[in-house]
Amino acid sequence: MAEIRCPNCGKNNPDVLDVCQFCQTPLKPESVLRIGQTPTKKNTGELESVLPDWLKDVRQQARDSAEADAAAQAAAQSRSQKSEPPDLLAGLASQTGSGDDEDVPDWLASINPTAKPKPSTPSTPEPSTDFFSQFDSGESKPEAVSEPSQTDAPSWMDDLREQSPPPAEKDELSAWFSQASEQPEEIVELDSDVQQSDSGWASNLGSVSTSAEKPAPKEEEDLSWLHNLEAAAKQTGDLQSPKQDVDWKANFEMPSMPSPSASSQEDLSWLDNLGGIEEPSQPVPQQPSTPQDDLSWLNKFGGTEEPSQPSQPAAPQEDLGWLNNLGAISEPQPSAATPNQPIPSQPFASEEDLGWLNKLGRAPEPSQPSSALTSGTSVEGAQEKPASSEDLSWLNNLGGIPESLQSSEAQKDLSWLNSLGGESEPLSTPPFGGAPIEGSSPRQTAPLNKEHQQETEPDWLKSAIQPPSMPAPGDLSMDWFAGTEQVADEKPVAATTQPTPFETNIASTPSESSTLSNQDVDSLFSVEMPDWLSRPETGATESASQQAGVPPAEIDESLSPVDLPSWVQAMRPVEAVISETRSSVADQPTETEGPLAGLQGVIPIAPIGSSRRPKAVSLKLQASDEQQASAALLEQILGSETSPRALITSSFVASQQWLRWALAGLLLIVLSTIIFLRSQTIPVSASLPLEVGNVSNAVMSIPAGAKVLVVIDYEPALAGEMEAASGSLLDQIVLLSHPNLSFISTSPNGAALVERLLSNTKINQPAPDGFGYQAGAQYLNLGYLPGGSAGILGFIEVPGRINSSANVQSFSEYSALVILSDHAESGRAWVEQLQNQKQNDLALTNQPLLMVASAQAGPLLQPYVSSGQITGMVSGLSDAARYEFVNNSRPGIARNYWDAFGIGLIISIALMIVGGLWSLFTGIRERRTEAKQG
Amino acid sequence: MRIFTAAFAIAAGFIVLLGYFFPDQLEALRLLLIDWAIIIAGMAVLVGIFNLVAVQMEKIRARQKGGTYAVILILALILTFGLGLILGPDHPYMRLAMDAIIMPVEASLMAILAVTLIYASIRLLRRRVDVVSVLFLVVAVIFLILTAPTPFGPILGDSGNQAIINFLGMFSSGGARGLLIGIALGTLLTGLRVLFGIDRPYGGN
């Protein structure tokens, strides 16, 4: 191989490579695939040599495994192609495998001459090795060996083949075999386990040695030997009757005899012996070492002990009648069947008796006695046969066919096949009915209870014909609600009728029969049925009786009453409906054809357009008048929720506006006129209240030129009242004492009201109208005192510390304290803080505290006056006017307001009285109107 | 922080309270704390004014309803405050502002109150007619009649009027005393709660 040197690493690479195997560098310029280029296709097989060794090994292993898998798959495929019923002899084929060829007798191996091929030869498809495939007419059909042991065909088989006549003519046996071969071929495999277990008995055979056989002729075997056997049988006429007492064992020795015929011609005399037919004696190769009693044990299976027989010249007499006995009814065998006596062959050749085949596939008969459950019984039953008469009848029992039936139905009785098709036509005799069979019973799943013998239908079929518990959806009849009494009563009636598979029995069968049927079902399937399936329907009668008013079932039924669940009972219609819809089943005709043949009343007769038609139901909602009214009301309420509610308040708002305007105008006009006219018509009382007299007395005690503290704690809104009330007091104090006034306020606006007060009271007016007080000289405005109570406390304790403008060192230097307040809190705070300080400072004990309060604060400060904490108090305009009157009507502010004040009060009182009465009257009238409307 | 504030407040309260019982030892400290309270209260007025301005400014910025009045308010505030700082509170212009604006406005509001009370008394019986409303109205009318100056003088004479006033005053005085006692007790309880830290009006709860 040419090499290419890598341009990158410099190492040599095979020329078939495109890239360097060391550095993956492209070796060829053309190997580099560029964008847009199409890669060139190369044969990957050329690269086989450049593959690494490990990859080659893997590929080789894969090939080998693939081949092996293919061979196995082919063998399995051929095996799986057959879907016929399991080959009963399949287990025998596997026994010949596992390499222990010496233990497998030849005759056993010869049973499945077409054994499966070896795995080493996967190319060869594994031929069918079932029993039936042996009978295939294709002579050229290869026969594979299933087990290595089977490859060595027994010598006796070879002798048989040699001795067997050439299968030249196509006889009936061939035809029968061809028919049998139509069935799916099945490989008969001998289980290795069975092979091992049978090694013991196989050794007894002795004479059969398979090891000496050659596999080559085995593979070349075909069914020609069977044909030869058939021909030989015909010659001898042994096919007419089965041989009962045949030393078939001797026939097995016959293969030891050399057969002059060709190897392809097989001696099937052993097959005759299986069926009790003595094969025609043919020179068969005899095993030199074959013991004489090697196959006698097989007779024991059939309940006959046949002495070991040497090779018998009965080969010519061999026939295939035994084949009939395999599946056919066992014919009464002769009591004494001597060895070598040709077994009368059954008319197989002429009549193609394939009844035994029928028996093989026939279902177990329910009418069979109960002793047919186990296969052992069949064997035992076979043992009961007379030894001479039924040597191989056990083979017949393999098919589960009672002997009593074999005689009558041996003739092409394939009716069972018909029954499998489930024909509905009533049979003259049930498929599986009949007289109870006594005696030995083959393997069959017959019910244990013999009472079931009388029943005609099989159990497995009975479940199909058993009517459902619930009626059909279209069944309008309520008959199925009927009590079970009638159902049970009518059951015997139904039992006498023609049993049909589609008998619609609504009610269940009685418990007893149901138990039997369930047992049959159980025995049929040989499985443990669940309780719910096998439990008899108990209490069905009781539930039916509890259904009140349920009309009795009108149709015939044989089922036991059903215990209806509660929800089903709740769905029951009303009795009236039931009564209406109930139809007389007896009046209705009986069906004669179709699946409902024999039934009555399943589908009620409802003539077209008759009254039975269900009533038309109106789609409109049926609502009463009351319900409709309620619905309308609800709709109205819901509609009102979304609609806005109209507010009718215009009249109310207008009357309020005019009234207010009227009141305001009246008061304004009247009072303004009175003030403007300076009317003083309303007299002022000269008697002073007590607290007002105390004020006057306190003012009289203030020394001249003393310091008086005046606290202004009112708002500008009440300045008019306060100025009118305090004017006369301050005027008297100034007039009598000429004190130094100090004004302080605990509100921010108080400091601004000092000048207004002094101006209105004409204190700071120049003489002769006022007292000519000067700011800073005669009076001081200390301003605003913050902190509320804390500030008052601090000022009382140390006035100069809190307010540096104060010209006193202690609060006791003030001769009097005059508090002008329009709210009780301020006065209370001053009173409380001052009272506390008076306890500490005795000089404050005689300090008068004069209070000038508005009419609204006076009542709240009255307790302090009553307690003596306040020396005197002037409350409101009335006290001020009186005080001013006593003071020679100085300054006259209160007197000016007095008339207007009086008139205003009178008007207010009048309005309150008149208006109240009017409102009372109108209110009562409105409430009466609303009450009448409501 | 919360603990510090609470501790300081409680300590201050206890010092002021104990200062009354121990004047020689805690007099000066108590007076000092009171001075600080007065100063802080005075500054609180300015803080209130500043808060007022801030609220009105926010109203103006958000263009809420009444923003125009907020503008007038702020302008008036600035003008008055400025003139007061400059001219002094005793300046005639400042008096003019007080006499011409503040006083009439507040006085008018009080006059409207009188009309409103009369109107309410007139419609009282139309809204609700029960014993309490009738009794209230009757008592009010009687009191007004007794105290109202008439051209004819007191209706029942001076002595009669005085007797009736004293009789009615007896009830009012009793009610007033009850109110005052309740106020005093409430004030005492509030003080104790603050001293014990139960209530923390200064924040930090």
A826-844 pLDDT tens trace: 999 999 999 888 888 888 8
Q: Which of A592-596, A615-619, A665-669 has the highest mean pLDDT?
A: A665-669
Give residue A465's pLDDT band: very low, low, confident or very high (50, 70, 90).
Answer: low
Distance of residue B115 Cα from the nearest chain A Cα, in angstroms: 6
Give residue A76's pLDDT band: very low, low, confident or very high (50, 70, 90).
Answer: confident
Q: What is the pLDDT of residue A191?
A: 45
Show residues of chain A in contact with B23, CB under 8 Å. 840
Contact B144 A802 (CB under 8 A): no
| Encoded tokens for A207 | 């004479």
Q: What is the pLDDT of residue A678?
A: 86
A615 has a pLDDT exceeding 80: no
Contact of A280 with A274, CB cutoff 8 Å: no
A502 has a pLDDT exceeding 90: no
* H-helix or E-strand spanning residue A783: strand A779-784
R_g of chain A, CA atoms, integer Å? 68
Instruction: Identify the closest residue of chain B to A791 by CA–CA distance.
Output: B38
Show residues of chain A in contact with B123, CB under 8 Å. 915, 919
Interface of A with B in 656-695 (CB under 8 A): 656, 659-660, 663-664, 667, 681-685, 687, 689
pTM above 0.80, yes or no: no
Show residues of chain A in contact with B186, CB under 8 Å. none
Q: What is the pLDDT of residue A713?
A: 93
Closest Cβ opposite residue B42 in set A663, A786, A862 = A786
d(CA A660, CA A798): 52
Give residue A278's pLDDT band: very low, low, confident or very high (50, 70, 90).
Answer: very low
C-alpha dist (Å) from residue A229 to A126, A286, A344, A412:
25, 17, 15, 22
Contact A753 B173 (CB under 8 A): no
φ, ψ for residue A290 (rounded to 5)?
Answer: -75, 125
A679 has a pLDDT exceeding 80: yes
d(CA A671, CA A663): 12
A534 has a pLDDT exceeding 80: no
Q: What is the pLDDT of residue A721?
A: 92
Contact of A79 with A126, CB cutoff 8 Å: yes
One-letter identity of residue A116: K
A625 has a pLDDT exceeding 80: yes
Contact A860 B38 (CB under 8 A): no
- Mean pLDDT over A240-245 rounds to 46
Chain B contact present for A797, CB below 8 A: yes
Output the CA angle A836-A837-A841, nearest 5 degrees. Answer: 135
Show residues of chain A in contact with B176, CB under 8 Å. 859-863
Higher pLDDT, A382 or B21: B21
Percent of chain B with pLDDT over 70: 99
Give residue A252's pLDDT band: very low, low, confident or very high (50, 70, 90).
Answer: very low
d(CA A771, CA A423): 147
Distance of residue B125 Cα from the nearest chain A Cα, in angstroms: 5
Q: Angle formed by the axes of helices B131-147 and B157-195, to 10°?
A: 120
**Number of A:B CB contacts under 8 A?**
170
A768: preceding bond cis by omega (within 30 degrees): yes
Q: What is the pLDDT of residue A427?
A: 44
d(CA A905, CA A898): 10
Higher pLDDT, B72 or A29: B72
Contact A860 B180 (CB under 8 A): yes
Contact of A553 with A480, CB cutoff 8 Å: yes
Contact A902 B122 (CB under 8 A): no
Q: For chain B, percent helix, then strand, then coil, each to nearest 5?
A: 85, 0, 15
Classify residue A641 as exposed, middle or buried by CB count within 10 Å of its CB (0-12, 13-18, 19+): exposed
What string of H, E and C letters represents the secondary structure of A168-181? Answer: CCCCHHHHHHHHHH
- Mean pLDDT over A694-707 rounds to 91
Instruction: Identify the closest residue of chain A to B99 by CA–CA distance.
Output: A756
Q: What is the pLDDT of residue A522?
A: 55
Show residues of chain A in contact with B122, CB under 8 Å. 659, 911-912, 915-916, 918-919
Contact B45 A748 (CB under 8 A): yes
Closest Cβ opposite residue A919 in set B94, B110, B124 = B124
Percent of chain A with pLDDT over 70: 45
pLDDT tens digit string along B78-87? 999 999 899 8
Higher pLDDT, A156 or A258: A156
| Encoded tokens for A897 | 């307001």
d(CA B29, CA B16): 8
Higher pLDDT, B48 or A768: B48
Q: Which ranges of A526-609 does DSSP label H, i.e. alpha helix?
A: 531-534, 540-546, 566-570, 575-581
Closest Cβ opposite residue A862 in set B116, B153, B173 = B173
* Residue A748: strand, helix, or coil: coil
Strands (E), A615-665: none
Half-sphere exposure of A37 (CA within 13 A, CB side): 10
pLDDT tens digit string along B18-34? 988 888 888 888 889 98
Q: Angle formed by the axes of helices B131-147 and A893-933, to 10°?
A: 160
Q: What is the pLDDT of residue A819?
A: 95
- Look over chain A and give the mean of its residue pLDDT values, rounded to a whole number: 66
* H-helix or E-strand spanning residue A814: strand A814-821
Interface test with B, best of A666, A919, A921 (most B CBs within 10 A): A919
Q: What is the pLDDT of residue A844?
A: 86
Range with the lowest mean pLDDT among A499-508, A566-575, A706-715, A916-925? A499-508
- Mean pLDDT over A282-300 rounds to 47
| Encoded tokens for A649 | 């308040």
Around Cβ B64, how many Cβ atoms within 10 Å? 10
Higher pLDDT, A567 or A356: A567
Show residues of chain A in contact with B115, CB under 8 Å. 660, 663-664, 667
Chain B contact present for A906, CB below 8 A: yes
φ, ψ for residue B95 (rounded to 5)?
Answer: -65, -40
A295 has a pLDDT exceeding 80: no
Chain B contact present for A756, CB below 8 A: yes
Higher pLDDT, A474 or A659: A659
Show residues of chain A in contact with B41, CB under 8 Å. 786-788, 790-791
Comparing C-alpha atoms, which of A276, A174, A152 is closest to residue A225?
A: A174
Placement of tokens 């009564």 in the chain: A579
- Mean pLDDT over A467-473 rounds to 54
A435 has a pLDDT exceeding 80: no
Comparing C-alpha atoms, which of A178, A173, A135, A513 is closest to residue A353?
A: A173
A215 has a pLDDT exceeding 50: no
Contact A915 B121 (CB under 8 A): yes
A291 has a pLDDT exceeding 70: no
Closest Cβ opposite residue A716 in set B102, B150, B177 = B102
Distance of residue B34 Cα from the nearest chain A Cα, in angstroms: 6
A200 has a pLDDT exceeding 70: no
Instruction: Identify the closest residue of chain A to B92 by CA–CA distance.
Output: A755
Closest Cβ opposite residue A786 in set B38, B110, B125 = B38
